[in-house]
Copies of this chain bind each other. A is one copy, B any other.
Amino acid sequence: MSRAVIGVDLGGTNLRTALLTTEGEILERHKEATVVSDGWKKIVLRISDNISRLRESAVKRGLDIRAVGVGAPGVIQISSGIVVKSPNFPDWNRLPLKDELEHELRLPVFIENDANAAALGEQWRGAGIGISSMIFITLGTGVGGGIVLNKKIWHGADGMAGEIGHITLIPDGRACSCGNTGCLEMYASARGIVQSYREKAGGMVSTEILKTTTSEKIYQSADAGDATARAVMKDMGHMLGIVLAGLINTLNPEMIVLGGRVKDAWQLFIDGTREEIMRRAFLVPAQRTQIVPSILGDDAGMIGAAAAALQNLGD
């Protein structure tokens, strides 16, 4: 029997599940809304049900499921598969997700942090195919990250490495919800872009526009030639570049992959990012590091969770 693997991406909004070949090709997929208010027991059962359904389908295809990988938001204790805590699931407190699912499924289950899973997905089957060292950064509502070294996630001592969004960029800058001031996230996330626009456009446009603007509306204005919106996106690119230059001088990676919805505004910010890298990082690493958009989109997490499970099996 040929081997296959199941990848799960558990988000605060959607629960995505896929049946994949051991080469990372998606054979079948399922998506449903995550009902956070259901509580952890029901959510675990939903995950388990989705996996079981794809497993039945695998059997019909003559495929043997080797393992299951689950990408989940929050702090994960990798070795035990415990979700220590998760901002999206307030009632998850040291939830033994691996044990719960293995008990239901009688299959080896591996739990990974969602940003790490997406990083590994992009490295395995996305923008980073063939790349050994890569930093993945999601520019979404917040800024998350995952670090791939020697084709594996670098977890750090507590499984908390890769928190790129909370590197200090402006020591006395904007207050961040993490308790720090001046985190990259406060300038390069969708929320940061909105705040920058409000600061820059204040007094120039109506309070109503300021109040209801979104990062997407700001990109549209910038595309349409609005000078303030263009300046906001340009500044955001420079801010991102300052931190990327520091990461390049620190880790000298082959590639940095940018994902998340802010990535869609690529042409509006990337020149400033590249400028800062060339100015601030050493020449050879600065020239070497490819800065590219992610290509797997919402599939990255499932694919990477599957990759993590296979790596953990030693396959």
Contacts and interface: CB of A to CB of B under 8 A. Distances in A.
Q: Tell which of A133, A155, A162, A249 has the most Cβ of chain B within 10 Å.
A: A249
Interface string A137-175: 000000000010100001111111111101111110000
A249 B137 CA distance: 14
Given A156-B252, A161-B251, A253-B157, A180 B285 contact: no
Nearest to A145: B250
Identical chains in the assembly: 2
A149 B147 contact: no
B285 A250 contact: no
Contacts of A160: 249, 252, 282, 284-285
Contacts of A245: 168, 180
Given A158-B288, A242-B171, A288-B158, A166 B249 contact: yes
A210 to B, nearest CB: 26
Nearest to A75: B284
A272 B133 CA distance: 33
Contacts of A179: 279-280
A231 B314 CA distance: 54
